[in-house]
Structure 1
């Protein structure tokens, strides 16, 4: 019987029923897990913070930093924690990401270090969360460490952690929400286990009430912050809510609740909706408090231009009509950013290229003799997924789907749902201008899936270690060689991930595919 789960001294045999899963969650080696976690964190911090101020565009932001970094500074210096109306333009993303940039700039000033510290911290936290989630999923510190190494060595997470953009913040909130949902699943099963062995599982055909679920509430808060960073986060609200419902139904079925689907609807639907649907909306609108209190924010007083007067919603307070006008303007902007409307970019990409990183992005490029103090050289920074990881996306997804559907492995179900939330919705608007950095939030789920595959390989041969020891050795060698390949690939790409000076010849060798150039 697992420690920490109280069981009555005498349980009526007639009420025990069939065997139920024991609440064994997380790796048992806490001390070693902590040590490994600290090491993973330190390595992640070292890679993210090394030479963080480079590259720049002659001391100014590069690529899309040029949008968000000045907005973060205006948020900090404007007095209201919201952007003013810049030349009567339109600020097209919610405030959370700009607040995080502003907090970083408040400490380190308006310079490359100032606008990149917050993304770097977020990048380190993502690595830690990936390690912790996979360790919980597999009950293995080793497999968790493999996931942490993958997260350290992924080019997308690495580069985005060193850029003053919004996507790394959104990815952090998404992974945090996912981690909270996985922890909530475990907590629900522990509570169900306790009720089952107290003999109360059959008191109602719907199963027990489970009390307030703080992990699920936390997931809702994280999803709200995710939406408060970029609107594309709303897809994760939908997919993660469906995932949470699936977890609840599976838990009630596993502990022999007579009507698990109806029980989930009766017992869990309302609180789940409050945490995972209502709470993100509340958090989102709370981020606009500075907008409401500002006198100069974008479209703050649009109701003065007869917005909504005389119509169905004329009873709505003016400030809320102005916010509606503002939000509808954002929607129109994003809806109109299409190729057919003439919006073209040399580095745009479509979602079918993202899984294998077939069309990366060039963030910065400097070449010529001035870059190396004499002699030709190139300094370039590209957002590119480490091929040893990203080129296995499709095999990982196929194995994950098979494991989910055939083996009923909930871990792959969770990872595949998380991955699909980040890519499938983009296929609904293929005419829209898109970029590879939209795939930032895909990376953690890819890495978790690959780590699960490594764990499967190690675990499958561990069961036959006594009868077929050579298989165990071979599996360890295969996994070790693959991890070494990932690290080597990351080291090889280091110059074009960090804009380090390299010769034109080496630059050409780094460009493996025509679509990379």
Structure 2
């Protein structure tokens, strides 16, 4: 393959440090490269007519020009230190809120609840036998008392990979196997880290400490996130590792585009674009996706969605720099390399997380291939016995999952998940189990119901529609696809299993994206979500600034819909300092701040009122019944 044809030595001042280079040393420096808004939805022919009229194919391009066409900031751009500092302050504050909502009273309930009866004991067996094992009847009660005599060495048929249970067991190693805090500490830590990671991802996408803090806060006080961070289940780990995978994918996008602009500087349109053999951030994304799959198989759908997205991003980048044979190059070369970075990496990580199963001959299905061969039954001769055994185990797991159709009182179809139509009840003890508590009423109860923060979830449905129509389709803002990939990879696939027994509590895996789509929509209506560099919106804003139609002391631009609803084009003279908002005051809109404030107030009030229902506090039956707003919540 021919390299880029350079007609002039055009390169930046070597003393100038590019933002991408800064990112390489500080993973949480806000992005140096924010992409073009038409990455996921633009029609190449249409956009070319808008952005590249009259191109001189014999004129070499500068790195600055290439960065602009790729939606990147100028060489040497960096985020203001004050904005960066406040981004970390916002992250710290929401981390504290998440820690309080997840760690206070973590030891209650004191017994094993819901599927803890499986995962906690499996975790203990893993750490002591090296594989999940059968427990004697009545072991739940004894285990809570610290008596583990019910553990046998007989292997147990378990239908999920081992990593999540290893993590649950790690907390038990620190705090003791008889401690509820020990069972639940690692899920709680995963919930806290997910809040932190969402805040950092939002900061990278929006460069606004206010929006980063808003995203972290809304996730920190969400009922789905809180309840499942306080119970030893697996799905909260999917949320953490899945979000980490998407964060790393965004980092790869930034670095890939910055490198492409750097490598093509001084070339003319129509040259071959260099192919980077190694993309560290993409490799890391594959590793994280492998960890996600090692919790539950549902992570494989997120991996597929990520793979499609990175190929589309690469294709649009090649098209925007007018690389030679951009479509064939993007599909055959980049697509293959993207696949090799993601899928084999995730597969190796997944198989490696079965290391304990390989190491213990007593594990379930170990010796299956040898038994079949001894019986004269044909087996897959091209696989070693250990992999034959593991493959057979996986076939048994798959058969269980697709055939799971038993009725459950809290099963819920995915059509109702986004509005929390049928939340999951995790805990409802008898009065005897509660110790006959008093609550000022004739009937006292304790209940844990995984109800999402309704103002957040319902507003997010509107934001999802707005994000798809306005941000993704009209404005072609690539950032909205970072949120949509969570819906595509962790929500939509459940419609393939319509007849399977499934529950609303699975939404904890994609609740970060529910919050993110809401925050991006709020950022748009407040003016805090700045146009992507090089986009049509950015060019229009530059023209209005040059014409003195907007700017300091002048009104911020408003959409046709906002004007139709009666919002006046008056300037906002006061607002948050730029170090907190991330944008000049004149860009912000008072009505957007008002909407954001009302939503935050409603979410905080809802969290305060429903906290007893999320954490199993002793309340009167009347109090509980009042909180069940709809009959289908009961």
Q: Which residue of 1 aligns with 2:38?
A: none
Q: CA-atom RMSD, angstroms? A: 2.5
Deviates more, 1:143-152 or 1:465-474: 465-474
Q: Which residue of 1 aligns with 2:633?
A: 516
Change (3 A) 1:304 1:374: farther
Q: Which residue of 2 aligns with 1:393?
A: 460
Q: What's the TM-score once normalised by structure 1's chain length?
A: 0.91
User: Secondary structure of 1:512's partner?
Assistant: coil
Q: CA deviation at 1:373?
A: 6.9
CA contact (8 A) 2:418 2:461 kept: yes
Q: CA deviation at 1:134?
A: 1.0
Which aligned pairs between 1:481-500 and structure 2 lie closer than 5 A? 481-500=598-617
Q: CA deviation at 1:84?
A: 3.4
Q: Which residue, out of 129, 132, 142, partners 1:83?
A: 132
Name the CA distance, whole Å, in 2 between partners of 1:315 and 1:469.
Answer: 72
Name the CA distance, whole Å, in 2 between partners of 1:145 and 1:492.
Answer: 22
Name the CA distance, whole Å, in 2 between partners of 1:458 and 1:256.
Answer: 35
1:411 paired to 2:424: no
Name the CA distance, whole Å, in 2 between partners of 1:317 and 1:359.
Answer: 46
Name the CA distance, whole Å, in 2 between partners of 1:286 and 1:201.
Answer: 46
1:443 paired to 2:517: no
Name the CA distance, whole Å, in 2 between partners of 1:217 and 1:278.
Answer: 10
Q: CA deviation at 1:314?
A: 2.7
CA contact (8 A) 2:357 2:363 kept: yes
Change (3 A) 1:293 1:218: same
Name the CA distance, whole Å, in 2 between partners of 1:4 and 1:487.
Answer: 43
Q: Which residue of 2 aligns with 1:272?
A: 338
Q: What CA deviation, in whole Å up to 9, does each residue of 1:129-176 have, x standing for no partner?
A: 111111111121111111111111111111111110100111111000
Name the CA distance, whole Å, in 1 between partners of 2:528 and 2:215.
Answer: 18
CA contact (8 A) 2:287 2:345 kept: yes
User: Secondary structure of 1:231's partner?
Assistant: coil
Q: Which residue of 1 aligns with 2:41?
A: none
CA contact (8 A) 1:27 1:140 kept: no
Name the CA distance, whole Å, in 2 between partners of 1:321 and 1:6.
Answer: 49
Q: Which residue, out of 388, 403, 411, partners 1:348?
A: 411
Unaligned runs of 5+ in 1: none
User: Secondary structure of 2:266's partner?
Assistant: coil
CA contact (8 A) 1:383 1:437 kept: yes
Unaligned runs of 5+ in 2: 1-11, 21-57, 136-153, 531-540, 542-549, 556-569, 573-587
Change (3 A) 1:358 1:258: same
Q: CA deviation at 1:393?
A: 3.5
More helix by percentage: 1
Q: Which residue of 2 aligns with 1:231?
A: 297
1:479 paired to 2:596: yes
1:33 paired to 2:87: yes
Q: CA deviation at 1:209?
A: 2.2
Q: What's the TM-score once normalised by structure 2's chain length?
A: 0.75
Q: Which residue of 2 aligns with 1:154?
A: 222
From the CA coordinates, give the structure whose radius of gyration is larger. Answer: 2
Equivalences, count: 502
Q: CA deviation at 1:62?
A: 0.3
Q: Which residue, out of 571, 574, 598, partners 1:469?
A: 571
Q: What CA deviation, in whole Å up to 9, does each residue of 1:450-477 have, x standing for no partner?
A: 0001110111799767232268222212
Q: Which residue, out of 284, 309, 331, partners 1:243?
A: 309
User: Secondary structure of 1:355's partner?
Assistant: helix
